[in-house]
Structure 1
Amino acid sequence: RDADCTIRISEPNLAKLIAGKLNPMTAFAMGKIKVSGDMSVALKLSQLLG
């Protein structure tokens, strides 16, 4: 089955995101996270990490 959403992030930024040192919305606004597809799926994921 095809993905509803694809998220691209570098490994160092992913580590910061998981550690709570990088805000998902700020990272997206700064271009550190790239989202393709259904943005609502990405927002659900950001709620889990935030």
Structure 2
Amino acid sequence: MSDTIDAAVAALNDKMNGGFDGTAKFVIEGEGAIMVDESGARAGDEAADVTMTADSETFQAILSGDLDPTAAFMGGRLKVDGDMGAALRLGGALG
């Protein structure tokens, strides 16, 4: 597992404020994947309600709050495949 994935899992778990009732997968291009569900974030690559794909720089900017996920999606830097409602609920759970 890459240091980027390890750091992202830790950051996501720090940001989670509960309330996410689905499964989501973040794919960080060239690094790996992270699963998020009601129990938090962990490294993994399983089926999910929604899959969000971005490069490492974009993902880190979203996590740090420097880039709004909606702006990243609208600008083509974040790809979303699957249940858009789950993606929005995840955004709410991350605060």
TM-score, reference length from structure 2: 0.47
1:2-36 Cα distance to aligned partner (Å, 9 max, x none): 31111101101111111110011111100111000
Greater Rg, structure 1 or structure 2?
Answer: 2
Shift of 1:37: 0.6
TM-score, reference length from structure 1: 0.83
Query: In structure 2, how many angstroms separate the alpha carbons of the residues matched to 1:13 and 1:28?
Result: 10
Structure 1 unpaired stretches of 5+: none
* Structure with greater helix percent: 1
Structure 2 unpaired stretches of 5+: 1-45
Q: What's the % identity of the aligned pairs? A: 39
Moved over 6 A (4+): none
Task: Figure out how many residues of one structure are paired with residues of the other and give that number.
Answer: 49
* Structure with greater strand percent: 2
Q: Which has the higher contact order (CA 8 A, sep 6+)?
A: 1
